[in-house]
Amino acid sequence: MEATSPIVTSLDERLLDLGSKTTFSSIRTPPTKKAKRVRFFRNGDKFYTGVVMAVTPERYRSFDSLATDLTRALVSSVTLPNGVRAIYTMDGRKVQSITDLEDGKCYVVSGQGELFKKVEYSSSKVRRGSSLSGLPQSPAGTGRQINTIPSCVKARIITLIRHGTKPRRVLRLLLNKRNAASLDHVLEAITEVVKLDCGAVRRVYTLSGKLVITLEQFFESEEVFIAYGTEKSTQEDFELDPEESKLVQSFKRGPWISKRQSGPIPEMPRKTGKRALTQPQVRTPSPASLMLPQPLRMHYSVGHVIGDGNFAVVRHCVHKQTGAEYAMKIVDKHKCQGKETMLASEVAILRQVCHPNIISLIGEQETTDQLFLVMELVKGGDLFDAIAAVTKFSEPEASIMIGHLTSALAYLHSHHIVHRDVKPENLLVEMEGSHVRCLKLGDFGLAQFVREPLYTVCGTPTYVAPEILAETGYGLK
C-alpha cells in the first residue's frame, strides 16, 4: 500500500490541477451578456421610423461611444448638426447611463441644447427581426425610404413670410430629400422655422395668393410663401411693405438671372462670413485688454485688426525677435459652443497640412475662453476684394490662380481631407504690384477628414457644391 501511495498522490494532484484550470478558465471567459435591442428616434421628428441598435457593455464602454455610433447611424436620415448629445425616455426623462437602457424599449436622441419634444413617433416598440444598426447605412436602409420620395423633390431654398403684424419676419428654408418627402414633411419643417405663436403651420400660400395643396407647388416657379396657423388670409397679406420687400429681394438670386443680354456688369454677391477691414485701424490695444497668454505676450506684439467674423477676430502681429509678420486669429470659445468638434478638426487639419498654396499654421495657444492661432500673413487680402477692385483678371493671372487652387485641393484630397467652403472670401492672394503672384487657400472651419461618404449639408449657399445639396453622399470626388 505504501508503494502505491505516491501514484495515488500524483493522480490526486493531477485531478486537482485539472479542476483548478477548469475553474480559472471559467473565470476568464464569463458568458457574454445578451445584447439589448433598442430603437432610437430623432427628437421631434414624427416621420422618422427610428434606427434599431444592439447595445452591450462590451461594445459600448461609455455613453460617448454610443453617442458617436448613433450619430453615424442617423446622419444620413435626419439633421443632427452637432451629433447626438442626449438620450431621453419616451416620457422625457434623461438617460444618464448605458445601463439605464432597457431591451425592446424606444428612446429619443437630441442634439446640443435641445429640449425634449413629445410627439407621436412612428413606431412604439422593437419587433423581432428588426435590422440592427450601429454603422452608417445607405439611405435606402434607414428610417425614411428615399425611393418613395417624389421625383419633383430637389434641393431648393425657399423664402418664407411669417404671418403676423407688418413688417413680418422673412426667413429662408432649404428643402431637400430629408424634409420634403411629403407635404406633411414640408409643413413640419416650416413649423420649426417660422415658430408661429399659435403652434403648427396649417396653411401655406404663395405670394400670388394661391393655396399650396400639393408638394409639387413648392418646387415650381414661385419662391416666396406665406405661412399661416388657423388665421384667415386677407388680400393685404399678399402685399409687401417696403421693409419686407427689401428683405425678400435680398434673398433672391443675383441679377444675372435676368434674360437681358446687355447692360451693366452684374453686381458681386454679398460678402459672407467675415468682414475684412481693408484700411488698418490705427489702434494697438494693450495686452491686458486682449487677454494674451504669457508665452504669446513674450514672443509677439499684437497690432491692428485685419478682419473679423462671427466667431473670431484676426489681428496683425510681429515676432519680437525676428521681426517676421504674421496673422493672429483669436477665437472666442463662448461663441463656438456646440461647434467644439469643428474647431478641433480645423486645428488638427492645419497642424497636418504643409503646402505652398495653403495657409500655414505657425503656432497655437489655448486658454479657458479663447484659442489663439498664429498663422501665415498674406498681405494682398482675399480674392473677393480683389475681384471687386479690378472687376476682371487677365487670362495669365486667372490661370495662375486656378492652378494654385487646384494644386491645393489635390493635395488635400490626397490626404483624405475635404475643405467644403471654397469661395473667394477664403482664398488669399499675394500681389506683385497690381498683379496676382500667388493664391493660398484658408479658413478650414468646415474641413473634415473623409473616411466614408458624408451627408452633412454645409457651406455658403452662394457657392455650395451641387453634390452636397444632392444628399446622395459626397467625398473626395
Active site residues: 421
Read off φ and ψ for residue 401, nearest 5 degrees: -65, -45
CA-to-CA distance for 215 and 177, rounded, in angstroms?
Answer: 12
Q: Are strands 325-332 and 170-175 parallel, antiparallel or unpaired?
A: unpaired
Q: Residue 101 in contact with residue 38, Cβ under 8 Å?
A: yes
Binding residue positions? 329
Question: Which run of H or of E encompasses 45?
Answer: none
Q: Which residues pair with 106 in a beta bridge?
A: 39
| CA dihedral of 375, 380, 386, 389, whole degrees rounded to 10 | 140
Euclidean distance between the first and the last CA atom of the chain, given in angstroms as a whole number: 85
Binding residue positions for ATP? 329
Question: Which run of H or of E encompasses 115?
Answer: none
CA angle at residue 152 from 151 to 156, to 5 degrees? 125
CA-to-CA distance for 49 and 52, rounded, in angstroms?
Answer: 10
Residues belonging to the chain:
477
Q: Residue 226 in contact with residue 171, Cβ under 8 Å?
A: no
CA-to-CA distance for 198 and 230, rounded, in angstroms?
Answer: 8
CA-to-CA distance for 99 and 60, rounded, in angstroms?
Answer: 10
CA-to-CA distance for 395 and 109, rounded, in angstroms?
Answer: 53
- Quick one: which of 110, 124, 105, 108 has its CA closest to 79? 110
